[in-house]
């Protein structure tokens, strides 16, 4: 059990189903769940209490890149909804800082409105800055690594640290943070180095990206791309070539629009979703000899 100081103790939820906090609308109950939306202090107090008391803790933003087990999570899930975006003059130019719980799309739009370019790719990528920092989210030929200047990370053992973008050792949808099995860190703040441009020009690029996604990606409950694209190829193309476009298990379907998106069409279970992932991976391996690597993360017991 977790002991929190007032007023946080009264906001702790017990046996809270996680499906409503994830983009795929899947996942069983967390033993404890806390939604931090007031301040960074609140977020830090709650997560630090779990670390100090030896309670397993996992921070989620939009739950847009995680498949949560039907058995849920033993310990504390903290939903980071602390969203603050600050514009200012740093490092010799106009720039922006955003807390880990700020929405990526909100940040992209606010930057565009102020004539700051570089985050157009993020205009329709769901989730928070925290998740995007961990995963090196990206689209349309760009990613976090392209404009992220530095991040403030709270480490359970080392305390607060200012990490430069290079310290995150970014690769395609990966970082040193994503590879940490212990998960005892918290992304608190990210600052970006953006370019100045005309808002109309930035909006035009964003609109083009949004229209492209509408044409090529399905609506509905999903986790975006399930697998990373292997070097020189596309996971979606390989899945389609293996004859699995439209294939379904229960209420989970390989999207007929984009085969690397698996859509929860109704009352799917996480277990069906994961079975589909494994079957697709195996079928692609049998068909083309390529071992697809997961882009999404598995949370809970599998």
Ligand X SMILES: Cc1cc2nc3c(=O)[nH]c(=O)nc-3n(C[C@H](O)[C@H](O)[C@H](O)COP(=O)(O)OP(=O)(O)OC[C@H]3O[C@@H](n4cnc5c(N)ncnc54)[C@H](O)[C@@H]3O)c2cc1C
Size of the site for ligand X (CB under 6 A): 31
Q: Is 139 in the site for ligand X (CB under 6 A)?
A: yes
Q: How many CB atoms lie within 10 A of CB 164?
A: 10
95's tokens? 């720039």
45 annotated active-site: no
CA 70 to chain centre: 19
Contact positions with ligand X (CB under 6 A) in 62-101: 62-66, 80, 100
Q: Is 138 in the site for ligand X (CB under 6 A)?
A: yes
Element (H, E) at 298: strand 297-299
Q: How far is the CB of 268 from ligand X (least distance, A)?
A: 14
251 annotated active-site: no
Q: How many CB atoms lie within 10 A of CB 279?
A: 14
Q: Is 131 in the site for ligand X (CB under 6 A)?
A: yes
Q: Is 58 in the site for ligand X (CB under 6 A)?
A: yes
173 annotated active-site: yes
Q: Where are the beta strands (DSSP E) in 120-242?
A: 138-139, 142-143, 148-155, 159-164, 185-192, 195-196
85's tokens? 């975006």
Single out the segment in contact with ligand X by CB under 6 A; choices: 1-9, 11-19, 28-36, 183-191.
183-191
Side-chain half-sphere CA neighbours of 246 within 13 A = 3
Q: What SS3 state is found at 275?
A: helix
One of 25, 173, 240, 269 is an active-site residue; which one? 173
One of 69, 175, 222, 225 is an active-site residue; which one? 225
Contact positions with ligand X (CB under 6 A) in 238-257: none
- Cis peptide bond upstream of 7, omega within 30: yes
Figure out which of the listed residues 155, 167, 197, 297 binds ligand X, where binding follows CB under 6 A: 297
Q: Is 36 in the site for ligand X (CB under 6 A)?
A: no
> Could you list the residues that contact ligand X (CB under 6 A)?
23, 58-66, 80, 100, 125-128, 130-132, 134-135, 137-139, 185-187, 222-224, 297
């Amino acid at each position: 059990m977790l002991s929190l100081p007032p007023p946080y103790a009264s906001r702790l939820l017990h046996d809270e189903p996680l499906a409503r906090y994830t983009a795929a609308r899947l996942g069983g109950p967390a033993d404890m769940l806390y939604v931090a939306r007031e301040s960074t202090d609140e977020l830090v107090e709650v997560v630090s209490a779990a670390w100090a008391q030896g309670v397993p803790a996992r921070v989620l933003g939009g739950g847009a890149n995680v498949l949560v087990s039907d058995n849920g999570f033993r310990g504390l899930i903290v939903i980071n909804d602390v969203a603050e975006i600050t514009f200012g003059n740093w490092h010799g130019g106009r720039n922006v800082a955003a807390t880990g719980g700020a929405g990526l799309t909100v940040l992209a739009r606010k930057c565009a409105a102020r004539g700051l370019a570089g985050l157009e790719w993020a205009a329709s990528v769901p989730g928070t800055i925290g998740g995007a920092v961990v995963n090196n989210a990206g689209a349309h030929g760009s990613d976090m690594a392209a404009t992220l200047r530095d991040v403030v990370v709270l480490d359970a053992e080392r305390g607060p640290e200012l990490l430069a973008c290079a310290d995150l050792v970014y690769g395609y949808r990966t970082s040193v943070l994503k590879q940490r099995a212990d998960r005892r860190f918290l992304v608190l703040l990210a600052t970006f180095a953006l370019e100045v441009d005309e808002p109309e020009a930035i909006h035009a690029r964003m609109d083009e990206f949004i229209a492209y996604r509408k044409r090529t990606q399905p609506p509905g409950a999903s986790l975006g791309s399930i697998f990373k694209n292997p070097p020189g190829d596309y996971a979606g193309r390989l899945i389609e070539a293996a004859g699995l476009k439209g294939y379904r298990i229960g209420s989970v379907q390989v999207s007929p629009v984009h085969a690397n998106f698996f859509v929860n069409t109704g009352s799917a279970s996480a277990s069906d979703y994961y079975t589909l992932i494994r079957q697709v991976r195996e079928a692609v391996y049998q068909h083309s000899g390529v071992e697809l690597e997961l882009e999404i993360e598995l949370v809970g017991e599998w």
